[in-house]
Amino acid sequence: MHVEDSNKSLVIVESPAKAKTISKILGRDFQVKASIGHVRDLPKNRLGVNVRKNFEPQYEILREKEPIVKELREAAQDAEKVYLAPDPDREGEAIAWHLSELLDLPKSKLHRIEFNEITKEAVLAAIKSPRQIDKRLVDAQQARRVLDRLVGYKISPLLWRKVNGRSAGRVQSVAVRLICEREQDVTSFEPKEYWSIKASLSKAKAKQTFTAPLYKWKEKRIIAASDKATAQTMTIDSEKEAKAIVKAVENQDFKVSSVTEKSSQRKPQPPFITSTLQREASNALGYPVKKTMQLAQALYEGIELGPDGPTGLITYMRTDSTRVSQQAQDDARAFIEEKYGKDYIPAKPWVYTRKAKNVQDAHEAIRPSYPDKMPDEVKKYLTSDQYKLYKLIWQRFMASQMSPVKLQTTTVEIDAGEAIFRASATEKKFDGFTVVYDRLPKGAAETGDEEPGEGEDAQEEHTDNLPALKKNEELKLKDVNPNQHFTQPPPRYSEATLVKTLEELGIGRPSTYAATVTTIIDRKYVERVNKALVPTKLGQAVNLLLVEHFGNIVDVRFTANMEAKLDQIEEDKVDWHGMLKDFYQPFGETLKKAEENMNKVIILSEHNCPACGQQMAIRSSRFGQFLGCIGYPECKTKIALTKEGTPVPEDRPSEEKCKACGSDMIIRYGRYGDYLACSKEECGEKQPILKTTGVDCPREGCGGAIVEKKSRRGKIFYGCSNYSQNQCTSAYWYSPVISGGPYGKNTCPQCNSILLYKTLKRGDQVQCSSKECTFAELATGKEVHA
């Protein structure tokens, strides 16, 4: 592809994947290279900020990036023009600025370009409309970096001395505080008892029953104990009260007093922004926020789509805006009309706006770059996780451009003496945007914004099997039952709800949410327990000290105010040096007081010292956490901890023999878990513990066996026992079928390759391991098409 006046130009982006996609678009007239992220930063082993010289950052080229910088300098000298094309946000602008400083080129040769999606149209438009580096964005990023460095480098050494903590961070410490305070709410919660009453009813001559909850008693509406009480409401507080009501109504005549029908519609939700994508991926797919962002990054930068080559499938994934370009809206509407029909397009396109004060609205919402690339069409080119996330994004965006769902709700009120029971049923009259959800993912991805009919109760319980009823119709009571309930404590934060709270409070930005969550988990301040974020003893101890001595730093409003000032720097309303000066003076005084008054905290464990019997304390080193005797220095006993925080087990005997010397092998715990080690120290032989499957490696002449293994990211796969020696590459994500088991042979009847057993949501399946073979059947024996 030829671009006028751009012969032999250089384009610099952050990642090789992005470089590959853009190179395909621009063709031979351009050389595209990657900086692999930041090339320059504050030094790792010192503060790197000259506080006395107006907080001047002392940047250094990252050691591992020196060859890359050299390569980029050489390429830039030979290029006619240099286009800096990192991501379109503060971090990307800062990378572009650092590159411009290091390349030291005349301004006429250096150009900044940005694009929200990596498509031919967007990239070529950016090349035609370059701009200068936006110093306001750069200053906002520098201010954040320096601010975080000042907080981290000044408070962290104090924590090391006083509590053996890992570190403190401006945003991460607030996140830990939120989690600790929620934990306090959970543990101090006292449940309250309340009761509900439901009647099982039927038409006079019908067998099928339906359920109607008690709605009013003596003209007062029944509510849960957790709901806000008014003069017109009541809570059934005890079993005695519930049984008295049951006794009063069970001999009454049940008669329909009203039947109302109301129409409503459910609008689609807006397309994803960063935080809502992270939440939905967590709820529907179970993905941690870090994984979601890694997958989204790959989809944005480009995926190899066979003959189409590397293609960016989604727009930029760090955004707080629900705005959609006119072109994208038009493309989506055209696709919807062709695929589903005119009825599925609203008369006027939806306009989605956000009312939050801190919305920057710099980029579009997260959407597919090509609406016509349906998830199932590109599925074969994506990993399973990439496909699931792309499908989530595609469905949400397409739904956001479609007609609302039309609903009709029938509400029946039934009199029984002084009681009124109510039953409701909703019928979908027009499926609208839900047509794009071929199967509801867990977490209700198809939900929209409902507009209830006038007077409709937000707490309404909908009833299955509600028959057609008429006013004054008498009903037959089958049963009436009281049900006991207890109020529930506030839920612990999950990664998704923590991100939602941080966003609502104005803490952090789309580019920082994932890093914040990952950091507090990695530093053992918080742990995941069944998806919930629970503070560790270390996290609680650190939080108590920070709240006591650095109340401002971990104050929610203070942190949100700092975020607002960073936004004002970007808007050229605040000078970043002045902002840092205003922060640092009181911070220095607080730091001095903390150093004088902060007491050392010992975090006791549940374990006793095996040497002297005293309690062991949880301590930290640069290698991780360990248990140390509180009798130190008299008792120097230390016990290493596993990744799960439990004491490392002692060596255990095994039935294996050493392949090197024939001695007994023992089971020993190491950095990556249990492994086999020779009992003779002078031998030094080590072997992984292999969990066999009973299936021989199918590769001719290999002689190995298929065993269970773990990838570098901890995911289980099945590979040849010679895999680690690079002798064999046989590997599968699913367990192979055992020969002689319920399926007889373990080889495919069509091509003789190994059969794999897949556990899927739609049913267990036996499938051929060969990508070229289509054989598959359900575990029941019914043939399916893979």
The residues carrying an active-site annotation are 316
Cα dist from 196 to 223, 235, 463, 466, 488, whole Å:
9, 9, 15, 20, 15
Q: Name the packing angle between helices 384-400 and 326-340 (round to 10°).
A: 90
Q: Which residue has the tokens 């977490």?
A: 443
Which pair of tokens denotes residue 84? 């800096």
> For residues 641 and 603, is the Cβ–Cβ distance under 8 A?
no
Beta strand spans in 14-132 (E) = 30-34, 40-41, 49-50, 56-57, 60-61, 82-84, 110-112
Half-sphere CA count of 635, side-chain side, radius 13 A = 18
30-34 β-sheet, strand order: 30-34, 9-13, 82-84, 110-112
Which pair of tokens denotes residue 313? 């499938």
Q: Is 763 helix (H, G, I), strand (E, B) or coil?
A: coil
Beta strand spans in 323-448 (E) = 405-416, 419-430
Distance CA 391, CA 375 (A): 5
Distance CA 683, CA 677 (A): 9
Q: Which residue has the tokens 């589903």?
A: 340
Half-sphere CA count of 383, side-chain side, radius 13 A = 8
Q: How many CB atoms lie within 10 A of CB 710?
A: 12
What are the two backbone dihedrals, phi and then psi, of residue 632, each rounded to the nearest 5 degrees?
A: -60, 135
Distance CA 75, CA 61 (A): 18
Candidates 191, 290, 272; CA nearest to 498 is 290
Distance CA 651, CA 640 (A): 13
- CA 379 from chain center: how many Å? 21
Which pair of tokens denotes residue 505? 């409070």
Half-sphere CA count of 226, side-chain side, radius 13 A = 10
Distance CA 24, CA 301 (A): 12
DSSP letter string, 134-195: -HHHHHHHHHHHHHHHHHHHHHHHHHHHHH------TTHHHHHHHHHHHHHHHHT----EEE
How buried is 259 (Cβ within 10 angstroms: 0-12 exposed, 13-18 middle, 19+ buried)? middle
Distance CA 756, CA 766 (A): 6
**Could you check whether the bond before residue 213 is cis, i.e. omega within 30 degrees of 0?**
no
